[in-house]
Structure 1
Amino acid sequence: MADMVREVERKYEATDDTELPDLHVKGVATVTDRGHATLRAVYWDTADSRLAADGVTLRRRTGGTHEGWHLKLPAGPHTRDEYRVPLAASPPRTLTALVRSRARTEPLEPIVELTSERHTFHLQDAEGTLLAEVSRDTVTATRLGTDDTPTAHWTEIEAELADGPPELLERVGKRLRKAGLRPSRAASKLQRALDETGGTPPSSEPGPPPTPRNAGDHVLAYVRTQVRALVALDPAVRRNQPDSVHRMRVATRRLRSCFRSHRAVLDRSTTDALGEELRWLAAELGQDRDREVLMDRLLDHLAHLPRPLRLGPVRTRLHTYDRARRTRSRRSVTAVLDGRRYLALLDALADLLADPPLRPAAAKPAERVLARAVRRDTARLDARVREALAAPGGDARDQALHRARKAAKRARYAAEVARPALGKPAAKHVERTTALQRLLGDHHDGVVARAALRDLAQQAHDAGEHSFTYGVLYEQERTLAQGYERDLPAARRAATEHRF
């Protein structure tokens, strides 16, 4: 397993003659000269720079205090999560798995070698705590894998936060800018090396996207955002980070819903097949997410149950039930992310964005085309909720309400696509359909919980344990379901009566 540290830093362009100003800013008691070191790093990427395009770097570094393989993933403005493993001849599988959603089936190869002559200064408080590190790097970059091996040279200043407050970097940056330094135009040393040695340019440029002009632009912007979320969440899911499975599953659902709602914009001869693959991926991810939701719900209800009603080892049995299901689902998710089918889906999504299958409606005004899609999906939602309310109680109504829940998601996501074009009316529609979706989601979670409680009660009975508490929780879920159904007509009116 790789060690992870969060890196927060700023880079500034300098010259060979640049002298660092006095760094005794507010909060800094001591500036200690830590001397010079020579750092050598070989950066690996695909031939078309897929990692660099997403602000990701994978390198093998020697020299200095942190030798080894380093993988840096974006984690916010000026912030990256750095994963470190010991030195090895080739990229460790621990790290290559974390870039698989970006590299996919393309091989990783060494593309740039950087040699940095580093002069480091430690900024410390009165107790000697390291607050930040400022270094002056004289860099030589050599492009690898070419006949003429072009090189580039530059000097830069790095200010990296250690145990100091975030505002310390702002103070240091203000001091450096006052001394004539300017923030670096490149996001990383690798980015600058590629730019200055004629390397393959990244496939997607940083910076704000162009302003959408028509319906096609708006739909593709939404698709692009969800594809990026899917790719970026892959490493978090592999490392079992909180809520990552849920967020990845939501991205797949948003994509599938977008393809279905906007068939007038994107040709369904392409998107239908992608939609089926996204449905498959959401189902695979759902094994883990559904387990998390179920256990959180049952444990919360148990915690609020009066102690006299808790008979037998209920909490222990819940955790045992959860562990057995979690072991299977975690293995399944990892296998899915390592499988050819998932990587082929990511390739197909990238191909769609590179050459979108636009239909004639894509060139029309977004306000008209997108509003029509929202109205259609809202009418569909209204019909589904009415059907559910008219259905007899029991399984028939539960299934009808589940179908209405899916329709609510689709109407919500259609409005999300339209929000940049339609403004406040679409934003309000997103808010109201989200409220209806949550109500229907709570009802569905209760249906799942009741089924689990029946299983748990049977297991407890077979083991000679009290099953009374499971019955109490079951009745509690049934009462909650009745409340959700009473609230449904008002939620339906709020979500479906608005007109665009």
Structure 2
Amino acid sequence: MTPARSTTSTSEETERKYTATPDQNLPDLAGIAGVTSIDVDTVDLSAQYFDTPDLQLLRSKITLRRREGGDDAGWHSKLPAGGDSRTELHHPFTADDPTDVVPDALLALLRGVRRDRPVALAALLNTRRHRHRLRGTDGALLAEVVVDDVTAIRSVDDAEPQWREIEVELGPEADLSILDAVEELLVAEGITRSPSPSKVHRVLGDLIPAPEHLRGTAGYLRDYLAHERQTLLMSDIAVRRDAPDAVHSMRKAARRLRSALQTYADDFAIDTALVEELRWLGRCLSPSRDLEVQHERLVDRVAEISVEQYREATRARIDEYFTAKSVAARSEAIITLDSDRYLVLIDSLDTLIGELSSAPKERDKQHRPKPAKLAGSIEKLAKKVSKRVNRVAEAPDDAERDERMHRARKGSKRLRYAIEVIAPLHPKRAEHALDRFDEFQDLLGEFQDSVVARDHLLDIVSEQGHSAESSFGLGVLHQLEAEIGAQQAVHLESAWKKAYKSARTLWR
């Protein structure tokens, strides 16, 4: 993964696309508030788009292309980033760059999405682009508005669609109001938003069957799993890029998937083998995420050491300890994502989502549970968590209390994710319940973080070469974390009562 990080740059873009007829042109943009000048030119672009034979990249709203012409010639991959925004990975051409071989750096980043399948040319697009760069008083770029006349050739059948579209991209220092102003003018001219998120989707999108609209419980589970699968895949790429918070996002998606399947396995006759594989993935990612959280937590806690020289010595020891462990943990996470076992897991998840899509037609009626049956599964799980919470007060010592709190936390997380699945059945009641569970999880999460922090502090102290200052500082932090844990444990029962009461409205 080192080559990918050293040769591939990353940028964020916010862009809106519009459909235009061949005789529709841009309205006058000079009157937009804040625009003092407009630079106009024309460029010719040629782009080769690559994908797997079954268009796995396009299915995940990802594009991979080799483009010539314009200001940013090279290899690009664009990833969805929410709303009108995308993350663009740019890999420059090299002197001996072959035109039909995707750089290994990009292929490595996309390995989980493409399932290690080869990619090949899927479409060729030639574009004549008429650019209008809107600038402000200081010459800053507010937005780039382009009219694109596109001719495409798709590999599957040599079809050659042609069309005109308009793109409006936000400038690096502008806000969304400039996009809204341009859109208002376009709409007034009868120019509306494009239904296709990208040019290549317009060319190849008809080759991807639209997901069947499902009513009822199978649809809720299918849609939930599909959403979390997409989050998992986007997080996979972010982990490979070493992006901030990526491991956390990926582990959370895996946990949500596992909890949903585990809770409703009997209701939908789901093979629990996938549950175990998702548990394996979460365990493999845990060390990297936990180290990130704990490093940040203990660095913040250092400020509570009263003597400055003790703070400096303690911070140095903490940084040294976590840096060494984090490098090893990240390496293990990447090995996991590159493993055949992980790729089989993703394929199995795809298969399950496809099977749920056919549930109303092909599955037995007994495997199309009614809402009341799913609510019953929620009730059953909530009662299990209640038993775990009650057992905490009965713990004979602190070590056993910590273990029982952890078990209650795991059960509560599973219950929360199970409620998310059936939220469309009872939107308001589910929203209220999820808010209460957020509060409960915050309490349990803070407690568990204090337990793990104490373990790390003991590990650091056990290492050789400590100064008196750092040993003292680490001891202070250990005492602070013990006090935090005790405070959270006191509030466990009352917090659970609120969460349970809100969840009970889903089955009563």
Distance 2:263 2:364 in 1: 14
1:387-398 → structure 2 map (5 Å cutoff): 387-398=391-402
1:442-453 → structure 2 map (5 Å cutoff): 442-453=446-457
Distance 1:129 1:276 in 2: 53
SS at match of 1:390: coil
Which whole-Å deviations, capped at 9, do the CAs of 1:234-292 have from their partners, x for residues lacking one? 11121222222111111111111111111232324x2x111111111101111111111
Residue 421 of structure 1, aligned match among 391, 402, 425: 425
Counterpart position of 1:17: 23
1:332-411 → structure 2 map (5 Å cutoff): 332-356=332-356, 360-366=365-371, 368-411=372-415
Counterpart position of 1:132: 143
Counterpart position of 1:304: 304
Given that 1:132 and 1:161 are in contact with CA atoms closer than 8 Å, whether structure 2 keeps it comes out as: yes
1:88-167 → structure 2 map (5 Å cutoff): 88-89=97-98, 90-146=101-157, 149-163=158-172, 164-167=174-177
Counterpart position of 2:479: 475
Match status 1:175 vs 2:175: no
Distance 1:348 1:435 in 2: 34
Distance 1:189 1:311 in 2: 55
Q: What is the one-letter code of the residue matched to 2:66? A: R
> CA offset at residue 349 of structure 1?
0.2
1:244-323 → structure 2 map (5 Å cutoff): 244-268=246-270, 270=271, 272-307=272-307, 310=310, 313-323=313-323
Residue 489 of structure 2, aligned match among 465, 485, 491: 485
SS at match of 1:262: helix
Which whole-Å deviations, capped at 9, do the CAs of 1:362-400 have from their partners, x for residues lacking one? 42322x022101111110001011112111113222212
> CA offset at residue 60 of structure 1?
0.6
> CA offset at residue 13 of structure 1?
2.4
Counterpart position of 1:26: 33
Query: Aligned pairs, how many?
Result: 486
Counterpart position of 2:3: none
SS at match of 1:107: coil
Q: 1:22 to 1:416 in 2, by over 3 A?
A: same
Counterpart position of 1:225: 227
Given that 2:12 and 2:86 are in contact with CA atoms closer than 8 Å, whether structure 1 keeps it comes out as: yes
Distance 1:62 1:239 in 2: 25
- Structure 2: segments with no counterpart, 5+ residues: 1-6
> CA offset at residue 336 of structure 1?
1.4
Q: 1:257 to 1:117 in 2, by over 3 A?
A: same
Q: What is the one-letter code of the residue matched to 2:139? A: G
Q: TM-score, normalised by structure 1?
A: 0.91
Distance 2:370 2:395 in 1: 40
Q: CA RMSD in A?
A: 2.2
> CA offset at residue 316 of structure 1?
0.3
Counterpart position of 1:239: 241
> CA offset at residue 70 of structure 1?
1.0
Residue 82 of structure 1, aligned match among 59, 80, 88: 88
Q: 1:317 to 1:109 in 2, by over 3 A?
A: same
SS at match of 2:235: helix
> CA offset at residue 27 of structure 1?
1.3
SS at match of 1:313: helix
Distance 1:436 1:359 in 2: 38
Distance 1:481 1:119 in 2: 62
SS at match of 1:64: coil
SS at match of 2:388: helix
Distance 1:354 1:387 in 2: 41
Deviates more, 1:427-436 or 1:246-255: 427-436
Given that 1:135 and 1:158 are in contact with CA atoms closer than 8 Å, whether structure 2 keeps it comes out as: yes
Distance 1:115 1:17 in 2: 19
Q: What is the one-letter code of the residue matched to 1:45? A: D
SS at match of 1:265: helix
Q: 1:180 to 1:423 in 2, by over 3 A?
A: closer
> CA offset at residue 464 of structure 1?
6.6
> CA offset at residue 133 of structure 1?
1.7
> CA offset at residue 494 of structure 1?
2.0
Given that 1:15 and 1:155 are in contact with CA atoms closer than 8 Å, whether structure 2 keeps it comes out as: yes
> CA offset at residue 309 of structure 1?
8.9
Residue identity (%):
36
Distance 2:12 2:487 in 1: 45
Q: 1:145 to 1:214 in 2, by over 3 A?
A: closer
SS at match of 1:7: strand
- Structure 1: segments with no counterpart, 5+ residues: none
Distance 2:249 2:28 in 1: 45
Given that 2:317 and 2:470 are in contact with CA atoms closer than 8 Å, whether structure 1 keeps it comes out as: no
Distance 1:306 1:110 in 2: 63
Given that 1:69 and 1:84 are in contact with CA atoms closer than 8 Å, whether structure 2 keeps it comes out as: yes
Distance 2:159 2:215 in 1: 40
Q: 1:277 to 1:31 in 2, by over 3 A?
A: same
SS at match of 1:11: strand
Distance 1:414 1:183 in 2: 36
Given that 2:267 and 2:374 are in contact with CA atoms closer than 8 Å, whether structure 1 keeps it comes out as: no
Q: What is the one-letter code of the residue matched to 2:59? A: A
Q: TM-score, normalised by structure 2?
A: 0.90
Distance 1:117 1:228 in 2: 33
> CA offset at residue 12 of structure 1?
2.4
Given that 2:267 and 2:369 are in contact with CA atoms closer than 8 Å, whether structure 1 keeps it comes out as: no
Given that 2:61 and 2:79 are in contact with CA atoms closer than 8 Å, whether structure 1 keeps it comes out as: yes
Q: What is the one-letter code of the residue matched to 1:187? A: P
> CA offset at residue 181 of structure 1?
2.4
> CA offset at residue 331 of structure 1?
0.9
Q: What is the one-letter code of the residue matched to 2:76? A: H
Counterpart position of 2:202: 192
Q: 1:14 to 1:360 in 2, by over 3 A?
A: closer
Counterpart position of 1:6: 12
Q: 1:27 to 1:309 in 2, by over 3 A?
A: closer
Given that 1:281 and 1:342 are in contact with CA atoms closer than 8 Å, whether structure 2 keeps it comes out as: yes
Which whole-Å deviations, capped at 9, do the CAs of 1:425-452 have from their partners, x for residues lacking one? 3333323333223222222222211122
Given that 1:152 and 1:193 are in contact with CA atoms closer than 8 Å, whether structure 2 keeps it comes out as: yes
